[in-house]
């Protein structure tokens, strides 16, 4: 899978970029030729949450929890992790985009005079926000920076990032995102680890990426994983992916190749070998019996 954040960094000819510190970036693009991919689907992941406002165009985000079609005038927050981006091939996509690390969100909200109240523990990977006039105005004001030849001062960019987070926190309509923000600040690390794994097990990510998504070193990730799940990451991922693939084959109109791809396996052949070893029959046999 490709790193979405790094792909944006690698294409300054399509994305006018402003950095703030080592981990924040904004980008703005419009023309059809400014694309992350040439095919309809792209497997991507990012170590940072990102938030964007769609000025024009449409795309679909496919996650472990479902598909989210995003169009014009949408304001969207996407949690860090894996996703499959579906390109609508005959349209451009024009956005103002912010990558926002967990630490920056927490630091900004800790300075807020009114603390956030927890609401729920369920957070969608993709959250649609209320496109209030204040928020629309904020994003449109940011687009003006891209028309300037000179980059804005980093201290001004940092203020704009903080303004964005605080604007969202001041709107009680966005309860799901506010709850997620609250979890970043107060949730036990074991629960955060469980959420990262449940939301991303079906993507073909390496263990060091899972560690990064859970804000841990690789060694700490492995240690905490075994403490939380009672098994190794490799064994847990294999079992979780096989069970997910069996559901796809039994209950949905999925081919063996589709089931392998959507369950995070490297190849259909690897999937078939692992499936037969675990369940005693090949995925093709199971699918034939279910038909």
Element (H, E) at 244: helix 233-251
The 8 Å CB, 24+ separation contacts for 238-246 are 238/274, 238/278, 239/278, 240/197, 240/201, 240/202, 241/201, 241/202, 241/265, 242/274, 242/275, 242/278, 242/279, 244/201, 244/202, 245/271, 245/275, 245/283, 246/275, 246/279, 246/286
pLDDT at 50: 94
Name all domains of the chain by residue range, CATH numbers in brackets. Answer: 2-186 (2.60.120.280), 188-291 (1.10.10.60)
pLDDT at 31: 52
C-alpha torsion angle, residues 40, 41, 44, 50 (rounded to 10): 60
The pLDDT tens digits of the residues spanning 135-193 come to 888 887 887 888 788 888 888 888 988 999 998 988 888 888 988 998 888 888 888 89
Low-confidence ranges of the chain (pLDDT < 50): 32-34
pLDDT at 121: 67
């Amino acid at each position: 899978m490709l790193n979405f954040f790094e792909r944006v960094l690698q294409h300054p000819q399509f994305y006018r970029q402003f950095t703030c510190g080592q981990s924040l970036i904004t980008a703005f693009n419009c023309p059809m030729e400014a694309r992350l991919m040439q095919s309809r689907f792209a497997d991507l992941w990012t170590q940072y949450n990102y938030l964007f406002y769609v000025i024009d165009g449409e795309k679909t985000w496919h996650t472990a929890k479902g598909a989210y079609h995003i169009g014009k005038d949408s304001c969207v927050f996407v949690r860090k992790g894996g996703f499959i981006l579906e390109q609508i091939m005959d349209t451009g996509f024009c956005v103002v985009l912010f990558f926002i690390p967990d630490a920056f969100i927490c630091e900004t909200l800790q300075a807020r005079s009114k603390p956030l109240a927890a609401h729920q523990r369920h957070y969608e990977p993709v959250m649609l926000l209320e496109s209030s006039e204040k928020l629309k105005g904020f994003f449109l004001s940011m687009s003006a920076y891209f028309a300037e030849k000179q980059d804005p001062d980093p201290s001004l960019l940092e203020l704009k990032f903080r303004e964005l987070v605080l604007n969202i926190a001041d709107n009680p309509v966005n309860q799901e995102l506010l709850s997620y923000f609250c979890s970043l600040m107060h949730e036990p690390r074991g629960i955060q680890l469980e959420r990262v794994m449940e939301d991303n097990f079906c993507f073909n990510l390496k263990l060091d990426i899972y560690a990064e998504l859970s804000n841990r070193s690789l060694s700490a990730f492995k240690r905490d994983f075994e403490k939380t799940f009672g098994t190794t990451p490799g064994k847990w991922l294999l079992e979780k992916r096989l069970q997910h693939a069996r559901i796809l084959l039994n209950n949905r109109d999925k081919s063996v190749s589709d089931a392998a791809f959507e369950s995070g396996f490297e190849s259909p052949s690897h999937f078939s070998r692992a499936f037969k070893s675990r369940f005693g029959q090949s995925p093709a046999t199971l699918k034939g019996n279910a038909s």
